[in-house]
Amino acid sequence: MAENENKKNNMKSGARKNVRRNKNTRSNNKKQKNNIFKKSKLKIIPLGGLHEIGKNITVFEYENEIIIVDCGLSFPEDDMLGVDLVIPDITYLEKNKDKIKGMVITHGHEDHIGAIPYFLKQINVPIYATKLTVGLIKNKLQEHKLLRSTKLHEIQQGSKIKLGNFTVEFIRSSHSIPDSVMLAITTPAGTILHTGDFKIDYTPIDGKIMDFGRIAELGKKGILALMSDSTNAERKGFTMSESSVGEVFDKLFLHCTKRIVVATFASNVHRVQQIVNCAIKYNRKIAVCGRSMINMITTAKDLGYIDCPDNIFIDIDMIKNYPDENLVLITTGSQGEPMSALTRMAAGDHRKVKITSNDLIIISATPIPGNEKYVSKVIDDLMQIGAEVVYSSLEAIHVSGHACQEEQKLILALAKPQYFIPVHGEYRQLRAHSETAQDMGIEKQNILMMANGRILEINEDGAEFTGSVQSGRVLVDGLGVGDVGNIVLRDRQHLSQDGLIVIVLTMDSASGTVVSGPEVISRGFVYVRESENLMDEVKSVVRNEIRKCEQQGVRDWSTIKSVTRDTLRDYIFMKTKRNPMIIPIIMEI
């Protein structure tokens, strides 16, 4: 009996120990799982689009997987002489190309898709975008002969795709181009809502209102971070609806007996639709000028984004067959770009269109900062010809495609993010957006001000900046990508400001004496025939310097060139207070 009691007690004691051991094991397993989860943070690395307008590209990296959102370009600044385009530096992605699962695009504007062909020449990745965006990307890839080698996936608004650990949902949005989307990027670390470019338009031209319900639903589930468009963050109030522009067009078309020429952004398909609507209503045919406008309208028509009769559009060569009161021309050049169709019309250089006093020109855009002087010159030139010009200062013929402060507040209210990251804008715009977020109750320490190249590691337990990667700009000049750097730009600036002097002379390689020359060639500095005295003095300075080198026994051509260049630079500056680029050329016999 006693032995049986002892056995029972030992069994109970062992069972209690096993229970405690099992509890400890489960507790340790939980701790291990939590530790593993804490280590896996989502990395967000913008490579463009911050502290600038354009060149948008953002990297999302979780463990050994990467997705890319957008891949845009920007246009050269005034000091980038001869440069055609500016694209992002993707060195970091080239080093990690085996991790990339795909590229996801928010909409079809150049600052979000323009660099895709240059990217694909370095790294071939599948691309996911909505219908119109895919159509516009296809046009680019055809130009660069990349269409066959690229996997393009057309995604419906409201759909989800799975890319490794990333689930990306395409949420219907509103912008100045159809088929724009916000992206809900779900990872094990949490959900990021990336707005892309957006505005809130309750009466959009295509009737497709932003999916506020889905944004609110995600907000209830919990959004880790909201990355939101900051372009108009300094503007109070609301952005006007695109449909308000149609009412102004209707007023301008009514009773107008002149030929109407409308300049707008090629990508603004909704604006083009409203021009088409007015043309149909007032019995006018439409001709299109400008390569980018023709490409955009052709693509939008083929994909069903412009609703119009087949015979409304005519070839530009046919306009002479119609009276002015039955014509509308849609053209590029709303920003006064030097080679655009409207600028050439204003200068009288357009081969197909001659502006007369019987033209009504509508510039349906506001100048992008920096373009004001170009737009003003075009308006002046058109008015001097005698045309009537209507622009944004006179009529409300343009509305922005970006949200103002009250619209940004609505997205913040619906999303209720744990962290807020202002994107897409210069620093002052990001700063203004962060202040709006604080007004909406987001704590200052949870607002993350990012910069291109900085690595943000984030999950629900915290967010921190952990370093940086290579980022910046790559300049495209003709067929050359990246071969124009700061030194080349500096030389171009030097040449444009001060001109060039080339000194050519022939020397005997054995004796070091001058056989012929020096000859002086000047470009952009002075005209040689009108400044013979100065050129003779320049030749005399060169001869004296060569003679000194000869007397000192200097035979090294590079030393002779360097000494001659320095002496001549000082002499010319003393005489003219100008500093041209000087290139000595020594030929030896």
Active-site residues: which are they?
229, 402
Residue ranges with strand state E in 382-427: 388-390, 419-423
DSSP string, 468-537: E----EEEEETTEES---HHHHHHHHHHHHH-EEEEEEEE-TTT--EEEEEEEEEESS--GGGGHHHHHH
DSSP letter, residue 184: E
Q: Which helix (H) or strand (E) holds 160?
A: strand 160-163
DSSP letter, residue 61: E
The answer to whether 130 and 157 are in contact (CB under 8 A) is: yes
The answer to whether 120 and 141 are in contact (CB under 8 A) is: yes
Is omega for the bond preceding 76 within 30 degrees of 0, making it cis? no
Task: Give the separation between CA 50 and CA 451, rounded to whole angstroms.
Answer: 6
Which tokens belong to 572? 């010319």
The answer to whether 108 and 177 are in contact (CB under 8 A) is: yes
Q: Which of 413, 362, 427, 412 is nearest to 388 (CA)?
A: 362
The answer to whether 128 and 168 are in contact (CB under 8 A) is: yes
Task: Give the separation between CA 4 and CA 2, rounded to whole angstroms.
Answer: 5
Q: Cα separations (Å) of 309 from 261, 383, 568? A: 20, 34, 70
Q: Is the dihedral of CA 512, 518, 519, 522 positive or negative?
A: positive
Interacting residues of 138 by C-beta distance below 8 A, sequence separation 6+? 147, 152
Q: Which of 176, 124, 177 is nearest to 152 (CA)?
A: 124
Task: Give the separation between CA 575 and CA 526, rounded to whole angstroms.
Answer: 13
In this structure, the number of other CB atoms found within 10 A of the CB of residue 216 comes to 14
DSSP letter, residue 50: B
Q: Which of 148, 45, 52 is nearest to 99 (CA)?
A: 45
Sheet arrangement for strand 500-507: 514-523, 500-507, 581-588
Q: Which of 519, 527, 534, 523 is nearest to 500 (CA)?
A: 523
Task: Give the separation between CA 424 and CA 147, rounded to whole angstroms.
Answer: 29
Interacting residues of 120 by C-beta distance below 8 A, sequence separation 6+? 141, 144, 146, 149, 150
In this structure, the number of other CB atoms found within 10 A of the CB of residue 472 comes to 13
Report the residue count for the chain. 589
Q: Which of 183, 177, 187 is nearest to 215 (CA)?
A: 183
